């Protein structure tokens, strides 16, 4: 599963090799192998231990100067390697990202294809940070990551404006039987140690609820400490609150977060609450490898479903996961 940490590391590695690639006009090849082991326990129910591929990927990127001050770029990232089990793997069989675009200091950046969406990049930091992330609270917005046309403006005194539209044609099931053009808008402000962001998703899809999703994020950086708070809301669906703190100590990083989702009566979950406490301890072994431990404690109003020993569906109000993993990237 691609999370913010590994994505940032790969982006940094890709950027560091861009000058050499530009000189030879050769693309940059990057990738990672991600392994994890997790113990999953349902309170009053079953428990299991699993070793799995946590989202290994292989990618290629390239950029070139179209004209003075204007750069064209592309990226394609593939996944589905299932590197933990040769017998169960068909090799690379899925697409994570693929897009082309152009950028310049005067007009910003525009790109088209499959990529992390504007709403996700602007205001969903907490769930995107963790590696395994099984119990993190999901934010209710429906515009996907494919068929996107996205734009980021230049910074105007620390303020940048972002936008995306998803092009769902006549035969595209994401839009139901009719064409649809769901959109996302965001404003991101950065000044010194402070970051503020607001975003909206129009949710113009066929899930039965056409209400917008609104999100807010605030982040503060103080030397080795970063703190972020989030809020997301969608009428007749849910409200999600979250806070996370990171502390970096040399080659080590520690993170602790709390998330709460309150579902409305009109939602598919009914009138219930679900919350998660997550702890992460991560150690950078080298410039290309890190290991981590993550612990998740989920609670709520009987929101965790499982199958009992008799094959019957059952629910519980508590679930916990402990995981360890390793990532090698280049």
CATH of the domain at 236: 2.40.160.10
Tally the domains of the chain.
1
Instruction: Supply the Cα-derived Rg of the chain in whole angstroms.
Output: 21
Rounded Cα gap, residues 208 and 236, in angstroms? 11
Tokens representing residue 299 in the block:
């609670």
Q: pLDDT tens string for the chain (330 positions)?
A: 545 555 555 455 454 455 444 556 899 999 999 999 999 999 999 999 999 999 999 999 999 999 999 999 999 999 988 889 888 888 888 999 999 999 999 999 999 999 999 999 999 999 899 999 988 998 999 898 999 999 999 999 999 999 999 998 776 665 555 678 899 999 999 999 999 999 999 988 766 778 999 999 999 999 999 999 999 999 989 999 999 999 999 999 999 999 999 998 766 677 899 999 999 999 999 999 999 999 999 998 888 889 887 888 999 999 999 999 999 999
Indicate the pTM of the whole model: 0.89
Rounded Cα gap, residues 172 and 177, in angstroms? 8
DSSP letters spanning 207-261:
SS----EEEEEEEEEETTEEEEEEEEEETTTEEEEEEEEEEEETTEEEEEEEEEE
- Give residue 285's domain range: 4-329
């Amino acid at each position: 599963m691609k999370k913010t940490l590994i994505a940032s590391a790969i982006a940094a590695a890709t950027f560091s090799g861009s000058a050499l690639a530009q000189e030879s006009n050769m693309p940059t090849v990057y990738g990672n192998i991600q392994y994890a082991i997790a113990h999953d326990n349902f309170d009053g129910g079953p428990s299991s231990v699993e070793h799995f591929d946590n989202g290994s990927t292989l990618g290629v990127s390239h950029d070139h100067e179209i004209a003075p001050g204007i750069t064209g770029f592309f990226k394609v990232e593939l996944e589905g390697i299932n590197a933990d089990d040769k017998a169960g793997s068909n090799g690379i069989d899925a697409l994570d990202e693929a897009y082309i675009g152009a950028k310049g200091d005067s007009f910003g950046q525009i790109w088209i294809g499959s990529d992390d969406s504007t709403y996700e990049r602007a205001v969903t930091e907490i769930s995107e940070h963790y590696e395994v992330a099984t119990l993190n609270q999901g934010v209710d917005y429906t515009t996907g990551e494919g068929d996107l046309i996205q734009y980021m403006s230049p910074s105007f005194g620390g303020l940048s404006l972002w936008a995306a539209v998803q092009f769902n044609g006549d035969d595209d099931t994401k839009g139901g039987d009719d064409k649809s053009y769901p959109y996302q808008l965001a404003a991101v402000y950065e000044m010194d140690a402070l970051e503020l962001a607001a975003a909206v998703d129009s949710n113009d899809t066929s899930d039965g609820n056409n209400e917008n999703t609104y999100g807010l994020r605030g982040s503060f950086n103080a030397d080795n400490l970063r703190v972020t708070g989030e809020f997301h809301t969608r009428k007749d669906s849910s409200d999600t609150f979250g806070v996370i703190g990171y502390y970096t100590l040399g080659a080590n990083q520690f993170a602790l977060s709390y998330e709460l989702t309150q579902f409305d009566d009109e939602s598919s979950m009914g009138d219930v609450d679900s919350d998660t406490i997550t702890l992460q301890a991560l150690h950078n072994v080298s410039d290309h490898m890190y290991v981590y431990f993550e612990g998740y404690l989920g609670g709520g109003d009987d929101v965790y479903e499982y199958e009992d020993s008799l094959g019957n569906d059952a629910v519980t109000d508590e679930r916990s996961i402990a995981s360890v993993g390793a990532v090698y990237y280049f």
